[in-house]
Chains A and B, each alone.
Chain A
Amino acid sequence: MTKTDDKVMIQVKDLKKSFGDNEVLKGIDGTVKSGQVICVIGPSGSGKSTFLRCLNLLENPTSGEVLFDGKDMTKLTHSEIAGLGARMGMVFQNFNLFPNMTVLENLKLSPKKVKHLSDEDATKISLDLLDRVGLKNKADVYPSSLSGGQAQRVAMARALAMNPEVMLFDEPTSALDPEMVGEVLSVMQELANEGMTMVVVTHEMGFAKKVADQVWFMADGYIQEKSDPETMFENPQTERAQDFINKIITD
């Protein structure tokens, strides 16, 4: 578990999101403090991805508020939202590396275009980050030649190149072969240990147990329960969560 100070990083108030008639989020409330690691678990289709995507406005919430550093993001202008990319990083299930660029170019693109760093500075930052995820030797290859685990580590490095204050992870290990899950989780754990604020949607209960400060259980469009990992996995307080945890354990 990581140390957290009391600064509120993200506050979500009565967040709702519908796609047409399909109300996916029916009223989400939650607070993420600086340095906290929140793991979001729940059955598939319960709106975990939608919730995460509402945090960095890849989806526009139907109603409610998402306060980031005190500002209501749902009321930002387009250019302010773009500026957000510098402050909230996201890691996707399918990596979404840019296949038309080398690994190094993937990392350098945003620091150069958004932060207007020189090529030299961007290269230095990028190589340091690749080193950190153990992939400096892959700087000049194209993403298609990477394994899934390597691709996801590059994707993390790419997000970190913008020096974000919060990292969002949407099932970062779900598309990986089992033997590659570990290398990705260990980079995430390192990140958590360094004090990064993280919101992680995951099915990796081992990771959640070890790293999370709080586990949020989502089902039916609500966060049904927020507990510390021990309570959530050993002694869940709600029936919905009990069913879910029992099911995973028996699987």
Chain B
Amino acid sequence: MKVNVQNTSMLHYWKYFADGLKYTLIISIVGSIIGIILGVLLALMRISKFKPFSWFSISYTEVVRGTPMMVQVLLVYFGLGVLVNIPALTAGIIAVSLNSGAYVSEIIRGGIASVDKGQSEAAKSLGLSKKDAMVSVILPQAFKNIWPALGNEFITIIKESSIVSIIGVTDIVYELNIVRADTYRGVSPIVVAMVMYFVLSFTLTRVLNYFERKMNHD
């Protein structure tokens, strides 16, 4: 008779979780950075006087916000897969970036609108060009106003990026399923994953709050 001598303690599987953490972090960090760049571009296109830019930005944002992230991930992976063979991780990063770009652009647009109209009027009355007014006066204030919303978006990315496990990116959720299958333990791996996500978001929240306080000199 065979006895199960395998060590099924979660500690024994730490390497799996560590590996998952690595990929979750890669996807979240790279996705956030590209998302911000994309978001600024989309926001500027949105307020541009050149209508096709504005239309593109509006349609793009609406489509991304109106469809589930899971479907977007599948579309990027299998859709791009038709043209070129891309690794799951790359597809995951692209999908997360494209998704967060849309949300970030809405946040930035709101931030620009939240800056008092008197600010751009004062800038104009001083002879500043639109670009200088945007860079020196409007965007710094907009960024300060949207910092909390932007922080929320980063946290959302950490949590929602778990969806990329369906295309085989070995993030925390993917590893959690492997450990479950390996140990026949239904609940413990889930709890471990949950704690990991919570620690990630909680730490990030603290860090963001710290920067928010630092920015509040005025």
Contacts and interface: CB of A to CB of B under 8 A. Distances in A.
A6 to B, nearest CB: 27
Given A100-B144, A142-B218, A56 B125 contact: yes
Contacts of B141: 98-100
Interface stretch (A19-27, A80-88, A120-128, A207-215): A80-88
Given A98-B119, A100-B144, A143-B218, A110 B137 contact: no
Interface stretch (B69-77, B126-134, B186-194): B126-134
B125 A90 contact: yes
Nearest to A88: B125
Contact of B127 (A96, A101, A114, A144): A114
A96 B217 contact: no
A90 B129 CA distance: 16
Contacts of B136: 98, 101, 109, 113
Interface string B111-127: 00000101101111111
B140 interface: yes
B179 to A, nearest CB: 49
- Interface centre among B121, B126, B140, B217, by most chain A C-beta atoms within 10 angstroms, is B126
B127 A99 contact: no
A99 B122 CA distance: 12
Interface string A151-169: 0000000110010000000
Interface in A100-120: 100-101, 109-110, 113-114
Q: Is the interface of B mostly helix, strand, loop or mixed?
A: helix
Given A83-B127, A99-B141, A114-B128, A94 B217 contact: no
A58 interface: yes
Interface residues of B, number: 20
Nearest to B217: A142
B218 A94 contact: no
Nearest to B125: A90
Contacts, number: 70
B127 A158 contact: no
- Interface centre among B122, B129, B144, by most chain A C-beta atoms within 10 angstroms, is B122
Contacts of A100: 137, 140-141, 144, 218
A92 interface: yes
Contacts of A84: 127
- Interface centre among A83, A84, A109, A158, by most chain B C-beta atoms within 10 angstroms, is A109
A109 B127 contact: no
B127 A82 contact: yes
A185 B117 CA distance: 26
A84 B144 CA distance: 30
A149 interface: no
B119 A86 contact: no
A114 B124 CA distance: 11
A99 B118 contact: no
Interface in B124-159: 124-129, 132, 136-137, 140-141, 144
Contacts of B217: 142
Contact of B121 (A58, A82, A83, A101): A58
Given A92-B122, A98-B137, A114-B126, 4 more contacts: A85-B127, A90-B125, A96-B122, A114-B129
Interface of B: 116, 118-119, 121-129, 132, 136-137, 140-141, 144, 217-218
Give the 4 A-B CB pairs with smallest separation, nearest first: A85-B127, A96-B122, A90-B125, A96-B118
Interface of A: 56, 58, 82-86, 88-90, 92, 94, 96-101, 109-110, 113-114, 142-144, 158-159, 162
